[in-house]
Amino acid sequence: MTHVAILGGGPAGLAAAQGALAAGARVSLLDEGDRLGGQFWRHHERLTDPRLQHAWHRFGRLRGALADGDAQVHVGASVWWAEASADGVRLRATVGDADGDGRTGLEVDADAVVVATGAHDLALPVPGWTLPGVTTAGAAQALAKRDGVAVGRRTVVSGSGPFLLPVAHSLALVGSEVVAVHEASRLPALARGWLPRPWELAGKAEEFLEYAGGLMRHRIPYRTGSAVVRVLGTDRVEGVVVAAVDADWRPIPGTEREVACDAVALGHGFTPRLEAALALGCAIDGDHRGRFVVVDDTQRTSVARVFAAGELTGIAGADAALAEGAVAGFLAAGGAFDDPRLRGPVAARSRTRAFARRLERAHGIRPGWTAWLDDDTIVCRCEAVARRAIVERADVPLRAMRLATRAGLGPCQGRTCGRTVEAIVAEAGGAAASVGFDRRPVLAPVRIGEVAALAETDPPT
Amino acid sequence: MIRITVDGEPVQGRDGQTIAGVLVGAGRTAWRTSQTGDRGVFCGIGVCHDCLVTVNGVEGVRACRREAADGDRVEREVRA
Ligand SMILES: Cc1cc2nc3c(=O)[nH]c(=O)nc-3n(C[C@H](O)[C@H](O)[C@H](O)COP(=O)(O)OP(=O)(O)OC[C@H]3O[C@@H](n4cnc5c(N)ncnc54)[C@H](O)[C@@H]3O)c2cc1C
Ligand code: FES
């Protein structure tokens, strides 16, 4: 019997598990979270307000498929090693309390793997963004959904993309006043992205209208062509400077105004978590504006036995992740692409690919944002590296620049700043990087002792 | 209800919350000393490492990912 390992338990990973089981495989699914669901269905049985969840019945069905099928589910399992060879794939994980010192080792050998590690927020730096009270939009969403708490009492949401709408709505439902949502893209870009061929947006349109209704009920203004360009405060957030921005997101002088608040949620899109796919040797395409795992129509990567699905292959939301996951899991288990059971997901995937292109056209990051940075604005939060230091070394190879400035060498390993450092280097005329900051030898934090104890790892399952 | 201590001070939270959830729920926004001043939660999902704390003597625990347990001793980390 074919054994399919699935890395990630978000919409893509769960759909992959269901697909692989349907095609007759045995499944092992690993996720570092305490619960299945990924970012989209982040929850806690007692703490989550059901009004913050969407398509919950679908999650129930996916969990049901895992419970009824030949599946091993490992939550709290951080995969820190992944390799593929001619014989199979191997994942190594630590299992237990997050960052605890008593975790156990787990090794999974399988015939194929579906990598579904998702994405995290891309928050562009803004002067003052290291002040306590500034979080990513995703953090505001995660804390609202999972823990039932609001990041502030008076929150300003700024960035770009439809994701800002559910974030504002969630914040209001958990008790924060939301001063405004600032969408950097201007109406012409939004119209170019969203207005053509409205019939393609069936299903999506209702979701937007629901969020728009939520914003109206809570009297939250939605301001396009504007952005938080500075965060004010000494020990914590006390306010922000908001400005109108042009079509390239460059702040328009003279439009600045101060707004009092105690929290700021920033989200300018998402960036995929590529490290596992890179460790497995998968080809990646793109540059600092967006870099994704290359897959074909069957969700196969460039490496035999390795499939990828979800935000890892493009940013298109949970529906796309579900459709890609279903295809990837089914094929990884040896199922045929022309199987009638894949008709639904394949059709859904062509819709969601079109959706991804609209997203990028309407909300994609525009290069003018760097104009809101000061020379001493911190870009790498871990190592407190300012823009000036990066610009000064823009002409040396990326690796040398990192060693000289320490940008991207802190605990987060460049996950937070990688894309923006590359953008600043590119703007300053530096060399473009092929993989840039995304390669990481260890995929998830492990303690030295845990690596040493590998010899005592449980036998492969 | 659960009760943890943060640098010796008692803080109450709801059973099941992450340490970051307990702290934010209690109105705290910063609990780590970085080179540039205090930090707290930033990414909320284990990516940025801004929220690191010492829990029951174990260093480098991401507060946004660790579920708080009644009686946990949470201590501030200081980046030299
Ligand atoms: C913080 C945040 C909140 C979001 N909230 C929403 C929302 O409320 N509504 C919405 O429409 N969209 C939301 N999104 C967008 C979301 O990414 C997509 O809608 C959808 O969840 C993508 O599905 P996925 O399966 O590709 O990835 P994800 O849902 O991100 O799932 C990936 C999974 O892989 C796991 N993983 C990654 N690396 C490892 C590793 N090394 N070892 C073990 N496990 C690993 C993660 O723990 C995660 O559970 C959010 C995104 C973020 C970053
Ligand atoms: S807030 Fe980013 S790792 Fe916890």
Verify that A18 and A102 share a domain, yes or no: yes
> Reduced to 3 states, what is the DSSP secondary structure of residue B13?
strand
Residue A79: pLDDT above 80?
yes
Q: Is A415 exposed, middle or buried (0-12, 13-18, 19+ CB in 10 A)?
A: buried
CA distance A113 to chain B (A): 23
Q: Which residue has the tokens 């604005």?
A: A377
Verify that A229 and A129 share a domain, yes or no: yes
Of A40, A324, A352, the residue with max ligand 1 atoms within 8 A of its CB, to mutate for a pocket test, comes to: A40
Verify that A156 and A275 share a domain, yes or no: no
Number of domains in chain A: 3
A114 close to A28: Cβ distance less than 8 angstroms: no
Q: Among candidates A338, A326, A267, which has minimal Cα distance to A116?
A: A326
Is A139 close to B41, i.e. CB distance below 8 A? yes
Q: Angle at the Cα of A11 (from A122 to A199), degrees rounded to 5?
A: 85
Buried b (16+ CB within 10 A) or exposed e, A15-25: bbbbbbbbbeb
Angle between helices A11-22 and A56-68 (to 10 degrees): 40
pLDDT-derived band at A187 (thresholds 50, 70, 90) equals very high
Residue-averaged pLDDT of chain A = 94
A299 close to A20: Cβ distance less than 8 angstroms: no
pLDDT for position A435? 66
A438 close to A419: Cβ distance less than 8 angstroms: no
Residues from chain B contacting residue A44 (CB–CB below 8 Å): 16-17
- Asked whether residue A365 is domain-assigned, the answer is no
A144 close to A185: Cβ distance less than 8 angstroms: no
- Asked whether residue A345 is domain-assigned, the answer is no
- Out of A50-54, A65-69, A116-120, A196-200, pick the least confident: A196-200
Residue A453: pLDDT above 70?
no
pLDDT for position A179? 98
A54 close to A14: Cβ distance less than 8 angstroms: no
Verify that A227 and A293 share a domain, yes or no: no
Provide the percentage of residues in chain A whose pLDDT is more than 90: 84
Q: For B13-32, what is the mean pLDDT?
A: 97
Verify that A192 and A237 share a domain, yes or no: yes
Ligand 2 neighbourhood includes B52 CB (under 6 angstroms) = no
Ligand 1 centroid to residue A140 C-alpha, Å: 14
Verify that A206 and A93 share a domain, yes or no: no
Residue A367: pLDDT above 90?
yes
> Residue A345, by phi and psi: left (phi above 0), alpha (psi -120 to 50) or beta?
alpha
Ligand 2 neighbourhood includes B41 CB (under 6 angstroms) = yes
pLDDT-derived band at A285 (thresholds 50, 70, 90) equals very high
- Asked whether residue A342 is domain-assigned, the answer is no
pLDDT-derived band at A451 (thresholds 50, 70, 90) equals confident
- Asked whether residue A353 is domain-assigned, the answer is no
pLDDT for position B64? 98
Verify that A97 and A135 share a domain, yes or no: no
Q: Provide the residue range defining the domain that includes A440.
A: 375-453
Ligand 1 neighbourhood includes A13 CB (under 6 angstroms) = yes
Is B37 close to A120, i.e. CB distance below 8 A? no
Q: Least CA distance to B38: which residue of chain A? A: A132
Please, which residues 374-433 of chain A have a Cβ atom closer than 8 Å to chain B? 378, 381-384, 410-412, 415-416
Residue A147 is given by DSSP the state: I
| Domain segments of chain B as ranges | 2-78
Ligand 1 neighbourhood includes A115 CB (under 6 angstroms) = no
Is A148 close to B14, i.e. CB distance below 8 A? yes
Give the model confidence (pLDDT) of A92-112 as tens digits: 999 999 999 999 999 999 999
Q: For A230-246, what is the mean pLDDT?
A: 98
Of B34, B44, B47, the CB nearest to A415: B47
Ligand 1 centroid to residue A120 C-alpha, Å: 7
pLDDT for position A438? 84
Q: Which residue has the tokens 């069957």?
A: A298
Verify that A309 and A203 share a domain, yes or no: no
Q: Whose CA is nearest to atom 38 of ligand 1?
A: A117
> Reduced to 3 states, what is the DSSP secondary structure of residue A452?
helix
Verify that A105 and A130 share a domain, yes or no: no
Distance of CA A118 to the CA centre of its chain: 5
Of A236, A384, A416, the CB nearest to B35: A384
Ligand 2 neighbourhood includes B60 CB (under 6 angstroms) = no
Q: How many CB pairs under 8 A join A and B?
A: 136
pLDDT for position A434? 63
Residues whose CB falls within 8 Å of the CB of residue A128, separated by 6 or more in sequence, listed in order: A134, A230, A231, A232, A233, A237
Ligand 1 centroid to residue A430 C-alpha, Å: 32
Residue A281 is given by DSSP the state: T
Q: For B8-14, what is the mean pLDDT?
A: 98
pLDDT-derived band at A115 (thresholds 50, 70, 90) equals very high
Q: At the topology level of CATH, where does B2-78 sit?
A: Ubiquitin-like (UB roll) (3.10.20)
> Residue A76, by phi and psi: left (phi above 0), alpha (psi -120 to 50) or beta?
left
Give the model confidence (pLDDT) of B34-74 as tens digits: 999 999 999 999 999 999 999 999 999 999 999 999 999 99
Ligand 1 centroid to residue A308 C-alpha, Å: 14
Q: For A149-160, what is the mean pLDDT?
A: 98
Q: How far is CA B46 from CA A1, B20, B67, in A?
A: 35, 11, 12
> In what helix (H) or strand (E) does residue A165 lie, and over which residues does it extend?
helix A164-173
Residue B29: pLDDT above 80?
yes
Ligand 1 neighbourhood includes A116 CB (under 6 angstroms) = yes
Q: Which amino acid is at A300?
A: R
- Asked whether residue A415 is domain-assigned, the answer is yes
Instruction: Give the span between the Cα atoms of A412 and A432, in whole angstroms.
Output: 22
> In what helix (H) or strand (E) does residue A220 lie, and over which residues does it extend?
none
The atom of ligand 2 lying closest to the CA of A139 is 1
Residue A245 phi, psi dihedral angles, 5° rounding? -125, 150
pLDDT for position A458? 52
Of the residues A289, A317, A337, the one at which a domain ends: A337
CA distance A331 to chain B (A): 30
pLDDT-derived band at A58 (thresholds 50, 70, 90) equals very high
Of B30, B38, B44, the CB nearest to A143: B44
Residue A307 phi, psi dihedral angles, 5° rounding? -115, 155
pLDDT for position A196? 87
pLDDT for position A19? 98
A150 close to A52: Cβ distance less than 8 angstroms: no
Residues whose CB falls within 8 Å of the CB of residue A404, separated by 6 or more in sequence, listed in order: A393, A396
- Out of A34-48, A291-305, A335-349, A446-460, pick the least confident: A446-460
Verify that A174 and A186 share a domain, yes or no: yes
pLDDT-derived band at A460 (thresholds 50, 70, 90) equals low
Is A151 close to B45, i.e. CB distance below 8 A? no
Residue A446: pLDDT above 90?
no
Ligand 1 centroid to residue A138 C-alpha, Å: 10
Verify that A313 and A255 share a domain, yes or no: no
Q: For residue A65, give the CATH number of its domain.
A: 3.50.50.60
Is A147 close to B58, i.e. CB distance below 8 A? no
Verify that A211 and A151 share a domain, yes or no: yes
Of B18, B24, B42, the residue with max ligand 2 atoms within 8 A of its CB, to mutate for a pocket test, comes to: B42
Q: Angle at the Cα of A352 (from A440 to A139), degrees rounded to 5?
A: 50
Confidence (pTM)? 0.96
